């Protein structure tokens, strides 16, 4: 239980904090455009970017704005509702194995679920070879919402996968017999780490790392601690930042800082014994998606900050940390006027942002005048 962490409502300061964040001048440039609802971004060792388009295409973007044709070999995706080709990540040993990981919505007749596949990127970047599905949500269910899904490699080489509550199946988030509404942890080949918290428990899905999540659309490893942090959508209010720990319960749909879209109460309120409190929450909601911890030197005043994209808020949130507490929030690039789907730090120390539009862009943020 972490009631002492004092989650904040966006725009308010933490207890004891004084003053507002100093504004940093930011220059925003379009690196590439004409992408159809880009969703996930990952940097290759040579500085080029792998970018997913929700409709089912994986492409490579160069720093000069050029885009390759769709890479062959991507699994068939269900591009409907919130489903489609979602996140992309490269293997920690990509330089030697060239493995690329994709999360996506996978259909089977009238039902669907979040899946993860990996394949080897050809030397010319034109195709994925030896593609294998290494994770499938069980059970698949009806509906086209709340697939999650982000991928994050832990320092030990295991892979975290986020799966939403699939919208109409929220009660499954509290059950260890289902992958729905969970954070998963697997080995890079799809096998299950022996130290996962539910390994050996009868009926439990051994891939589960933590339970009680609504729709986690952001995940990243905190470089200061090596721990996973996530951001998930609330209902009406109650978007949460968590640092999911093995075997713990993050409350959905029993506790929440939001309410139903109708205004009705969710569950029992904001707290219950045995359920974790978020590090931070937003009310009203910003519809968060995509996150990155900043470690670069290009913006020295941002070092150690957490950045979160906002779909509804159409901005990039900078969150200043004091250890594991968030003590300040600042809104950036509000004038862009687009939904922000993902944010990543580039090898040059700049921040790169995806806009979620039918003619989406990759934006680069560098210091302004």
Q: Write out pLDDT tens, residues 90-116.
A: 999 999 999 999 999 999 999 999 999
**360-367: strand order across its sheet:** 26-35, 360-367, 351-355, 340-345
What structural domains and CATH numbers belong to the chain?
3-367 (2.120.10.30)
- Alpha-carbon distance of 88 to 52, in angstroms, equals 7
pLDDT tens digits, 136-195: 999 999 999 999 999 999 999 999 999 999 999 999 999 999 999 999 999 999 999 999
| pLDDT tens-digit map of 259-276 | 999 999 999 999 999 999
Query: Is the pLDDT score of 4 beyond 50?
Result: no
Chain Cα centroid distance, residue 343 = 10
Say if residue 14's pLDDT is above 50: no
pLDDT above 90 for 10: no
- 72: pLDDT strictly greater than 70: yes
Residue 9 above 80 pLDDT?
A: no
Q: Which of 333, 281, 329, 335 is nearest to 306 (CA)?
A: 329
Question: What does the mean pLDDT of the chain come to?
Answer: 93
pLDDT score at 22: 58
User: Using an 8 Å Cβ cutoff, are 221 and 154 in contact?
Assistant: yes
179 a catalytic residue: no
What's the average model confidence in pLDDT over 186-213? 98
In the predicted model, what is the mean pLDDT of residues 212-219?
Answer: 98
Where does the pLDDT of residue 313 fall: very low under 50, low under 70, confident under 90, or very high at 90 and above? Answer: confident
Average of per-residue pLDDT across 323-339: 94
pLDDT at 18 over 90: no
Q: Tell me what pLDDT residue 12 has.
A: 33
Give the separation between CA 283 and CA 153, rounded to whole angstroms.
30
Kindly report, residue by residue over 40-49, the tens digit of the pLDDT: 999 999 999 9
Which residues partner with 104 through β-bridges? 85, 115
SS3 (DSSP) at 349: coil
Of 148, 257, 168, 270, nearest in space to 209 by CA? 148
Q: What pLDDT score does 21 carry?
A: 54
Closest among 237, 185, 238, 186 to 211, alpha carbons compared: 185
Beta-bridge partner residues of 88: 102
Q: Is the confidence at residue 3, as pLDDT, over 70?
A: no
Residue 369: per-residue pLDDT: 79
Q: What are phi and psi of 362, to 5 degrees?
A: -105, 120
Considering 146, 179, 213, 233, which one is annotated as catalytic?
Answer: 146
């Amino acid at each position: 239980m972490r009631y002492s962490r004092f989650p904040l409502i966006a725009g308010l300061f933490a207890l004891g904090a004084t003053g507002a964040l100093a504004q940093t001048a930011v220059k925003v440039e379009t690196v590439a455009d004409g992408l159809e609802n880009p969703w996930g971004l990952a940097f290759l060792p040579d500085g080029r970017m792998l970018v997913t388009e929700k409709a089912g295409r994986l492409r490579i973007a160069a720093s000069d704005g050029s885009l390759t044709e769709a890479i062959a070999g991507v699994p068939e995706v269900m591009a409907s509702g919130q489903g489609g080709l979602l996140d992309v990540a490269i293997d920690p040993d990509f330089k030697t194995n060239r493995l690329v990981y994709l999360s996506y919505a996978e259909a089977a007749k009238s039902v669907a679920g979040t899946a993860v596949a990996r394949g080897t990127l050809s030397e010319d970047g034109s195709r994925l070879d030896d593609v294998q599905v290494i994770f499938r949500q069980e059970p698949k269910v009806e509906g086209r919402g709340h697939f999650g899904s982000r991928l994050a490699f832990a320092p030990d080489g295991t892979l975290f996968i986020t799966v939403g509550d699939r919208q109409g199946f929220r009660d499954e988030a509290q059950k260890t017999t289902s992958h729905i509404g969970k954070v998963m942890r697997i080995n890079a080949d799809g096998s299950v780490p022996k130290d996962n918290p539910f390994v050996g428990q009868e009926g439990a899905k051994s891939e589960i790392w933590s339970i009680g999540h609504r729709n986690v659309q952001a995940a990243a490893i905190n470089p200061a601690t090596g721990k996973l942090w996530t951001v998930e959508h609330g209902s009406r209010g109650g978007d949460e930042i968590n640092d999911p720990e093995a075997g713990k319960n993050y409350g959905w749909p029993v506790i929440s800082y939001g309410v139903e879209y109708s205004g009705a109460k969710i569950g029992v309120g904001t707290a219950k014994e045995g359920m974790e409190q978020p590090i931070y929450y937003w009310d009203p909601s910003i519809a968060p998606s995509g996150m990155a911890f900043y470690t670069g030197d290009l913006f020295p005043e941002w070092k150690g900050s957490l950045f979160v994209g906002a779909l509804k808020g159409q901005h990039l949130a900078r969150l200043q940390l004091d250890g594991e507490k968030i003590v300040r929030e600042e809104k950036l690039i509000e004038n862009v006027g687009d939904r922000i789907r993902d944010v990543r730090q580039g090898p040059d120390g700049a921040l790169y942002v995806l806009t979620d539009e039918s003619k989406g862009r990759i934006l680069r943020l560098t210091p302004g005048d």
